[in-house]
């Protein structure tokens, strides 16, 4: 299953400039999600991070992984038709390499443990085939 930007916006409440997932290219509920974030030089955060050596902030890489995780949880828990907001409860992250303008992040999400209203996910971000960041993310879901 694939999702375009309109379908993503129907699931998570984020909008420009904070919607950090451009599309989902693979989705198998309870198994795996693969999402794409195209990193453009036009991103607002590049104005100040950093003017001489533009690097995507690590916290935004985690946010992109969390947004992908929310979509994964939404489909894994069969929440179709509901709008959700998530709360980040726990993050352990490791940053391996910088992400620059022109890169394309491929974010992969798998389950560690899923419960009715909370989940713990393993997320990894790649540029091409190189791992650039990984995180274990725990979160809770609030239905609206």
Residue 135: give its domain's CATH number: 3.10.129.10
DSSP letter (8 states) at residue 12: S
CA distances to 50, 53, 113 from 8, rounded to whole Å, are 29, 31, 23
Q: What would the pLDDT profile of 43-91 be if each residue is shown by its tens digit?
A: 999 998 888 999 999 999 999 999 999 899 889 988 877 766 666 777 8
Domain count, the chain: 1
The backbone torsions φ and ψ at residue 50, rounded to the nearest 5 degrees and listed phi first, read -115, 145
| pLDDT score for 80 | 78
Q: How confident is the model at residue 105 (pLDDT cuts 50, 70, 90)?
A: very high
CA distances to 24, 64, 105 from 91, rounded to whole Å, are 22, 13, 19
Q: What would the pLDDT profile of 90-103 be if each residue is shown by its tens digit?
A: 789 999 999 999 99
Q: What would the pLDDT profile of 13-54 be if each residue is shown by its tens digit?
A: 899 999 999 999 999 999 999 999 999 999 999 998 888 999
Q: Is 14 a catalytic residue?
A: no
Catalytic residue among 49, 93, 95, 114: 49
pTM across the whole model: 0.94
CA atoms within 13 A on the CB side of 41: 4
| pLDDT score for 67 | 93
Q: What would the pLDDT profile of 114-143 be if each residue is shown by its tens digit?
A: 988 788 999 999 999 999 999 999 887 776
User: Can you tell me the distance from the alpha carbon of 105 to that of 114, in angstroms, rounded to the nearest whole number?
Assistant: 25
- Structural domain for 63, as ranges: 5-143
Q: Please say whether the beta carbons of 71 and 21 come within 8 A.
A: yes
Residue 64 Cα to chain centre, angstroms: 3
| pLDDT score for 51 | 83
């Amino acid at each position: 299953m694939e999702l375009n930007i309109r379908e993503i916006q129907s699931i998570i409440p984020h909008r420009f400039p904070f919607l950090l997932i451009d599309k989902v290219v693979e989705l198998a509920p309870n198994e795996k999600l693969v999402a794409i974030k195209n990193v453009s030089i036009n991103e607002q955060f590049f104005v100040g991070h950093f003017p001489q050596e533009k690097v995507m902030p690590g916290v935004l890489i985690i946010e992109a992984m969390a947004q992908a995780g929310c979509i994964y949880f939404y489909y894994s828990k069969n929440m179709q038709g509901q709008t959700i907001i998530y709360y980040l409860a726990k993050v352990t992250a490791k940053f391996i390499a910088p992400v620059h303008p022109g890169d394309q992040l491929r974010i992969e999400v798998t389950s560690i443990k899923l419960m009715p209203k909370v989940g713990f996910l393993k997320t990894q971000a790649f540029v091409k085939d190189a791992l650039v960041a990984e995180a274990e993310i725990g979160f809770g879901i609030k239905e609206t």
